[in-house]
């Protein structure tokens, strides 16, 4: 079992401010039951002073999610909205004398619910502010804005840490390269070198010269040859998917992005992503180059 601090246990066993808040005038909902945790934060704000008079929560999630929610309500009661807006996920974790690294995402969820509730009170669309970033982790719907923010405030330097804090990359692993890109960008700003040693079987990191020399020099394909080859590989995988009552079709190939439609039983949150992930892996190996397999629904979002 997890190594929870006494404070975490105490807040889990005796959560403060749990349950609906009848006269709440600000509500922030974050997460979903699919992802395994969800939090609704309810605030009663004094319209004259912007002071949070009361706060309560409802949480579906593990022990640390409930403890983080409880801690959050205790921290923000009595603060003005501007003060509360500055509460970081680290403040929540510190209030609990720390969280296990794998559970840091619970504190991030707390801070997000808080920001959503404040936006809700102010009549802002928090969604818009958030959707500016590119969607990075499809499995858990985590975008680059959130990852950047969490990397900066918590000084993260590995993909593994990003997964612990945000869940991004925790299911199919096909976004690990994108997470690395975000890390590299931010670490460059701080002129630190990223450490990628800990990352699990990195799907051919773009910036790894070793792979180029190690893999046998494959002759460079013409565009047409390459497309045929991709078609061939996908075609060879179809029987496998059909056996699972699914199917796949190529919609378009744009640079290193291959857009496909998954059908039937292949569809659905994490399974779809896992299927894409393993097909992508096969494409890497057979093509000898890095390509990205994306659902056709993401074509509009393409840069």
**Contact residues for another protein, defined by CB under 8 A:** 1, 9, 12-13, 15, 18-19, 28-40, 57-63, 65-66, 102, 116, 119, 126-127, 130-131, 140-141, 163, 167, 170-171, 243-244, 270-271, 281
Active site residue 137: no
Nearest distance from residue 50's CB to another protein, in Å? 21
In the block, which residue shows the tokens 């996920």?
A: 89
Nearest distance from residue 134's CB to another protein, in Å? 14
**What SS3 state is found at 274?**
helix
**What SS3 state is found at 51?**
strand
CB 261 within 8 A of CB 248: yes
Nearest distance from residue 12's CB to another protein, in Å? 6
Q: Is the Cβ of residue 1 or residue 48 nearer to another protein in the bound state? A: 1
Angle CA(37)–CA(165)–CA(196) in degrees, nearest 5?
140
35, 139, 172, 175: which one is catalytic? Answer: 35
Q: Is the Cβ of residue 6 or residue 189 nearer to another protein in the bound state? A: 6
Backbone angles phi, psi at 29, to 5 degrees: -110, 130
**What SS3 state is found at 138?**
coil
Quick one: tokens of 136?
A: 């990075």
Q: Is the Cβ of residue 187 or residue 269 nearer to another protein in the bound state? A: 269
106, 137, 175, 266: which one is catalytic? Answer: 106
Nearest distance from residue 192's CB to another protein, in Å? 27
Pick from 204, 203, 205, 185: which is nearest to 194 by CA? 185
Q: Is the Cβ of residue 132 or residue 217 nearer to another protein in the bound state? A: 132
Nearest distance from residue 25's CB to another protein, in Å? 15
Angle CA(118)–CA(122)–CA(126) in degrees, nearest 5?
60
Q: Under the phi-then-psi rule, with left for phi > 0, alpha for psi from -120 to 50, and beta for the rest, what region is 62?
A: beta
Q: Is the Cβ of residue 14 or residue 49 nearer to another protein in the bound state? A: 14
Q: Given CA atoms 296, 166, 63, 87 in this order, what sign does their dihedral have?
A: negative
**What SS3 state is found at 96?**
coil
Q: Catalytic residue numbers?
A: 35, 106
């Amino acid at each position: 079992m997890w190594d929870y601090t006494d404070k975490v246990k105490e807040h889990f066993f005796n959560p403060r401010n749990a349950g609906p808040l009848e006269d709440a005038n600000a509500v922030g909902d974050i997460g979903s039951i699919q992802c395994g945790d969800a939090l609704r934060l309810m605030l009663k704000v004094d319209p004259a002073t912007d002071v949070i008079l009361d706060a309560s929560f409802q949480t579906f999630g593990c022990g640390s999610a409930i403890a983080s929610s409880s801690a959050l309500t205790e921290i923000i009661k009595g603060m003005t909205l501007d003060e509360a807006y500055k509460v970081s996920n680290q403040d929540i974790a510190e209030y609990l004398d720390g969280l296990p690294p794998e559970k840091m995402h619970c504190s991030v969820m707390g801070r997000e619910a808080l920001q959503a509730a404040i936006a809700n009170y102010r009549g802002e669309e928090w969604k818009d502010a958030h959707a500016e970033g590119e969607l990075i982790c499809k499995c858990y719907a985590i975008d680059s804005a959130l990852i950047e923010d969490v990397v900066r405030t918590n000084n993260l330097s590995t993909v593994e840490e990003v997964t612990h804090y945000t869940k991004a990359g925790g299911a199919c692993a096909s976004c690990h390269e994108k997470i690395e890109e975000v890390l590299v960008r931010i670490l460059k700003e701080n002129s630190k070198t990223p450490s990628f040693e800990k990352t699990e079987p990195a799907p051919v990191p773009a910036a790894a010269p070793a792979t180029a020399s190690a893999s046998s020099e494959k002759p460079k394909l013409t565009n047409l040859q390459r497309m045929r080859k991709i078609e061939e590989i996908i075609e060879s995988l179809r029987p496998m998917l059909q056996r699972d009552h699914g199917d796949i079709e190529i919609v378009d190939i744009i640079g290193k992005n291959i857009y496909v439609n998954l059908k039937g039983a292949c569809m659905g949150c994490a399974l779809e992503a896992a299927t894409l992930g393993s097909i992508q892996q096969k494409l890497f190996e057979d093509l000898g180059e890095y390509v990205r397999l994306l659902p056709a629904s993401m074509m509009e979002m393409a840069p």
